Amino acid sequence: MSDLFRPVTVGRYELPNRLFMAPMTRSRADERGRVDGVVAEYYAQRASAGLIITEGIQPTVRGQGYILTPGLHSEEQVEAWRGVTGAVHDRGGRVFAQLMHSGRVGHPCLYEDGGLPVGPSAIASGQSLFDGSGMVPHPVPRAMTADDIREAVDGFAAAARNAVAAGFDGVEVHGANGYLVHQFLADGANHRTDAYGGSASARSRFAVEAVDAVADAIGADRTGLRISPGNTFNGITESDTDGQYLTLLSALAHRSDLAYLHIMETGARELTERLRKEWKGTLVLNTGSKMDTAPAAKVLEEGLADAVALGTAWLANPDLDARIRAGGPFNEPHRATFYGGDHRGYTDYPTLAGA
Hey, which residues are catalytic here? Answer: 179
Q: Judge whether 24 and 100 are in contact, CB under 8 Å.
A: no
Nearest of 71, 152, 84, 150 to residue 112 by alpha carbon: 71
Other CB atoms within a 10 A radius of the CB of residue 90 amount to 11
Other CB atoms within a 10 A radius of the CB of residue 230 amount to 16
Strand stretches in the chain, DSSP E: 8-10, 13-15, 19-21, 52-57, 95-99, 118-119, 128-130, 135-137, 142-143, 170-175, 223-227, 260-264, 283-286, 307-310
How far apart are the C-alpha atoms of 21 and 309, rounded to whole Å? Answer: 5
Nearest of 67, 56, 66, 53 to residue 22 by alpha carbon: 53
Find all residues with CB under 8 Å of 328, minimum gap 6, and list them. none
